[in-house]
Amino acid sequence: MELYPLQVFLTVATEKSFSRAAEKLLRTQPAISLALQRLEQELGEKLIDRSGKDLILTDAGRTVIDYARRFQSLQQELDNSLAELRDNSSGRLTIGANESTTLYLLRHIERYRELYPKVKIQVRRSFSSKIPNELLDGNLELGVISYDPGDERIKAKTIYTDALAFVVSPKHRLASRKTISITELASENFIAHNVISPYRELVIREFRTHKVPLRMDVEMPTIETIRKLVQGNQGVAFLPRMCVEQEIEQKLLAEVRVKEMHMERKIRLVYPTRRALSHAAKAFLDVVG
């Protein structure tokens, strides 16, 4: 059933006049009469008794008018909800990120929340390698990754440039050094992140290229546990600099530059090329700049 005939019926019943209903709906009186006749034919019931001078609702008309008012109310709610979405006064935004890339979102989310406090934001923890497919499948609207997805179906926007930092405990023998050579790391025990990533592969390749043994006797699932072990002088690690900036400033960790290994880490906000983004997602892209 179309909503327009119900609107016509509700207006005629409220105004108690076909002519006044036509004026209010900006239609001709014959068009109003035809719309009402079609509604009555569709329902198989007479809704208005036209036999007397005044328009009187039939029993069926009194039943239908209650539903017509509900439909009108729901339509108004729908219009209001869509207007709120367009103004970013409501809505939901789902972003995928792994443990470390979530950090790069914090300042953007803080700014976004200032501008659009009613939009609900959900950041889902996901493996970085799986985020492009989750975007294409529609499970995520936006994603944050630290590599170029190399897929024409995915757009990528760099939002931060970081570097991998070589960190040791302040008690470590290399803590007082500013710069070292990769060959000096042959005897070190690395605390590695057991999540496969382009940067893990890059570190392995650099050690292999320089023919330096890379001992990864301990592998951990989170950056937090790696950081704690390195602070306790249980090994050394390459970690995203943003993840250890505070510890370096507080001298809980020491950063030493490995001259053969300057590895930039570009953090990218990614989203589908062809699928339309929600108003909330478009606004987030504007905030990120």
Query: For the chain, which ranges sit under pLDDT 50?
Result: none
Identify the pLDDT of residue 1: 52
**Model confidence over 165-206: pLDDT tens digits?**
999 999 999 999 999 999 999 999 999 988 777 788 889 999
CATH of domain 92-159+267-288: 3.40.190.10
| Domain ranges across the chain | 3-86, 92-159+267-288, 162-265
**Model confidence over 225-264: pLDDT tens digits?**
999 999 999 999 999 998 999 999 999 999 999 999 888 8
Q: Are 134 and 97 in contact (CB under 8 A)?
A: no
Identify the pLDDT of residue 80: 61
What CATH topology corresponds to 162-265?
A: D-Maltodextrin-Binding Protein; domain 2 (3.40.190)
Identify the pLDDT of residue 196: 76
Is beta strand 142-145 parallel, antiparallel or unpaired with respect to 92-97?
Answer: parallel
Is this model's pTM higher than 0.85 or not? Answer: no
Identify the pLDDT of residue 88: 64
CATH of domain 3-86: 1.10.10.10
Q: Is 140 helix (H, G, I), strand (E, B) or coil?
A: coil
Q: Do domains 92-159+267-288 and 162-265 have the same CATH topology?
A: yes
DSSP string, 9-58: HHHHHHHT-HHHHHHHHT--HHHHHHHHHHHHHHHTS--EE-SSSS-EE-
What is the DSSP code (8-state) at residue 105?
A: G
